[in-house]
Structure 1
Amino acid sequence: MDTEELVRKCQAIVLKEEKEDTITVMGKMREAGEEIAANCLVGKILLTRGVNREGLRAAMQQAWRTVKEVKIESMGENTFLFKFASEGEKKRVLMGGPWHFDRALLVLSELTGIGDIKEQSFTHTSFWVQIHNIPIMCMVREIIQKLGEKIGEVEEIETDATGECIGQFARIRISINITHPLKKVVFLQEAGAKIPMPVLYEKLPEFCFCCAKIGHQYRECLKYKGQTKENMPYGGWMRAITPIERMKLA
């Protein structure tokens, strides 16, 4: 019996003259809770099978390289609470993502409200995104900002020491709604010409080659009809990355 089913059964029990016992979280109780939550992140691993906590702990400790060990508690359904020794380490991990476990995306977020796990949102993750084939005259911050907004919420645009964005590609950190298909290309309209600009995602985990969504494999996709990976809409996506770009993704 899972936790949600147990809660439903308990709520269905009605006793005669039963009083509703309620505790109001306020004052020192709330302050103590907020102090604990300040160094915590909650995360969900987008895998359809269960995740072993000890395996996750070992993998994340190696990836994050924190000074002190991160405490990890399972909250059920591949959701985990990560307690850091300091808020600084928590922020560094949160901003250093996206992170993976067993080639699946680990969606991390800060606790919201009073930390009710059922109310936490695991719909957005920040990626460094590359937009290629941008005309030189369009490599200005304002245009790159607009291009990034077609993909998600722009958090940061990489520039050189002079503040310019000119280069082989534009590199933008974007908060992306992972419940939607990943964008493969954005377009620029200029003097009647429509210029396609490929979009590449750094540290992209395994995703569905049928629907371009993160969180399941193509064999689990409702759109999968037995075709080979190469014949799927997004099957050859990552092959467009050059060896130099692969070094950036490592």
Structure 2
Amino acid sequence: MGRLWLEQHIEVWNDVPPAEIVEECKLTLVGKILSELSINLLAFQSTLRRFWKIDEVNISIREARLYVAKFKNDIDRQHVLDRGSWLFSGHLVIFTPWILNTLLHCYDFSTCAFWVQVFGIPLEWCSVNMVERAVKHIGKVLEVRIDSKEGVSLRTVRVRVDLDV
């Protein structure tokens, strides 16, 4: 059959990227739309800016369904990460922090964090350990919030879980 690939020289660079570019990249999120449909970039940008309530963010497409969002400050970037996943035209949009020396197509978008509300837990079982134990089978538990209302014995239990998508 012959050779299916050719040996090529691989050059290893020991250079370090400029510090100001690395600092700029730290304010960046990489995102992916889980859809095969083409997306209107202007509609995508304006919708996310409105959802995020952030005007000063530059969103650009880099590869098929891969986007880069550059923020002016870390507070806005963290706000988007903390609020979780997003929907655009009914399609899930996942954003993840920029990772040094990582190609865009190497980012992992196979999981997404969702808030799950848990019902039917007896009051005496409303502890972080017991709630984690109850929901660990659906995904990796990231955070547990147990809210109790003053003077009321009912409790709301919410768990942020990293789920396979």
Shared fold (TM-score, shorter chain, > 0.5): yes
CA contact 1:134–1:169 (8 Å) conserved in 2:
no
TM-score by length of 1: 0.57
Q: Deviations over 1:12-35 (max 9, x none)?
A: 799xxxx948462533x2534421
Secondary structure at 1:81's aligned position in 2?
strand
The answer for unaligned runs of 5 or more in structure 1 is 1-11, 179-250
Distance 1:132 1:160, change over 3 A: closer
Letter in structure 2 aligned against 1:125 = C
Q: Deviations over 1:166-193 (max 9, x none)?
A: 7354211112222xxxxxxxxxxxxxxx
Secondary structure at 2:38's aligned position in 1?
coil
Specify which structure has the higher proportion of strand: 2
How do residues 1-250 of structure 1 correspond to structure 2 at under 5 angstroms? 20=9, 22=11, 24=13, 26-27=15-16, 29-66=17-54, 68-160=55-147, 167-178=154-165
Letter in structure 2 aligned against 1:65 = K
Secondary structure at 2:161's aligned position in 1?
strand
- Structure 1 segments of 4 or more deviating over 4 A? none
Structure label with greater radius of gyration: 1
Letter in structure 2 aligned against 1:54 = L
Aligned residues, how many? 158
TM-score by length of 2: 0.83
Distance 1:137 1:21, change over 3 A: closer
| Separation of aligned partners in 2, 1:85 and 1:116 | 22
RMSD (Å), alpha carbons: 2.5
Letter in structure 2 aligned against 1:48 = E
| Separation of aligned partners in 2, 1:55 and 1:25 | 41
Secondary structure at 2:146's aligned position in 1?
coil
Letter in structure 2 aligned against 1:55 = A
Tell me what 1:216 maps to.
none
Secondary structure at 2:162's aligned position in 1?
strand
Q: Higher mean Cα deviation, 31-40 or 76-85? A: 31-40
Secondary structure at 1:150's aligned position in 2?
coil
| Separation of aligned partners in 1, 2:21 and 2:135 | 37
Q: Deviations over 1:120-152 (max 9, x none)?
A: 111121111012222233222211011232222
Deviation of 1:60 after TM superposition, in Å, equals 0.5
